Amino acid sequence: MTTTPSDPTTDLPGRPPVVDQATWQAARDELLVREKAHTREGDAIAAARRRLPMVEFDGTVEVVGAHGPVPFRELFQGRDELVVYQHMWYDGAPHQGQCEGCTTTPWHLKDAAYLNARGVSFAVLTTGRWEEVAPYVEFMGYTEPWYSVRGAAAPVGGEMGSIACFLRDGERTFLTYSTTSRGNERVNGSLGLLDMTPYGRGEAWEDNPEGWPEGSTFQPDGGRPNGSCWYWRSTADGTADWGPTSRPVPQWTRPGATPAQSLGRHGRHH
């Protein structure tokens, strides 16, 4: 059956218009021009990023991991480059009370084989005490190394919730780049795939055609609408929620994550 954009009997409410293959291909080709321009601009930005200056810092500062205190420069694992995710931490909170946004980054990079093949190591840093961090890492099933940087100054410690890149030259260590907020999305492949789908991420801020499903705009803490991150936390059935039985989404795939059970330390929720 051949259809055209002007055939009202084929259109479905809240869905893209139904067209024939040739019409679809023409629209797709038109968008491809913009996509290629976006890719080229991304390449140009990456080239500028490689030309940024860098800041030297003391690579002997100690961080605490699975094998006790180690100097930061050991995180390079003998390689010249290092990427870290700096994970927020809430002292004393159970597993489900840890940062739902920060959960997305290490969850999407549980194996750094492709980075390692290019001479780049990867680690997760957090300000939590190691005795709290270790059981959380075990529960989540993370395979990449985690370290407590409690008490360490920036760029090793300091404010969390960002990606940072480092370079090593012998015994010297340098900060070369950092990004936060939506800059962290580069690691989250799920968002890239959602951006390709007809309904996108389902966020309230997205520019959607009239009649599209509305994004979530509920207020998790009674404050301003937080529609840009509703997907970070959900109930067992996948409903976006910040209530007492909600969890960062990946936790529902972990053993023992039931709505009635508090995971980890104490019973406080973030």
CB-CB neighbours of 261 under 10 Å = 10
Q: How far apart are CA 249 and CA 255, in angstroms?
A: 13
Among the listed ranges 24-38, 96-110, 122-136, 207-221, which one has the minimum average pLDDT value? 207-221
Please tell us whether the domain made up of 55-184 is placed in CATH 1.10.150.240. no
235 confidence band (pLDDT: 50, 70, 90): confident
Instruction: Look at residues 10, 13, 14 and name the one whose alpha carbon lies nearest to residue 24.
Output: 10
Query: Which residue type is seen at 172?
Result: R
Q: Which two tokens stand for residue 208?
A: 């959607």
Q: What is the mean pLDDT of residues 231-236?
A: 80
Residue 158: CB partners within 8 Å, gap ≥ 6? Answer: 152
Among the listed ranges 7-16, 31-40, 109-118, which one has the minimum average pLDDT value? 7-16
User: Which residue do the tokens 């002007």 mark?
Assistant: 6
Task: Please check whether residue 55 is in contact with residue 171, taking contact to mean a CB–CB distance below 8 angstroms.
Answer: no
Domain ranges of the chain: 55-184
Q: What is the pLDDT of residues 57-116, one digit of tens each?
A: 999 999 999 999 999 999 999 999 999 999 999 999 999 999 988 999 999 998 999 999
Specify the pLDDT at position 86. Answer: 98
Element containing residue 166 per DSSP (H, E): strand 162-169
Whether 268 has a pLDDT exceeding 60, the answer reads: no
pTM recorded for the entire structure: 0.87
Specify the pLDDT at position 82. Answer: 98
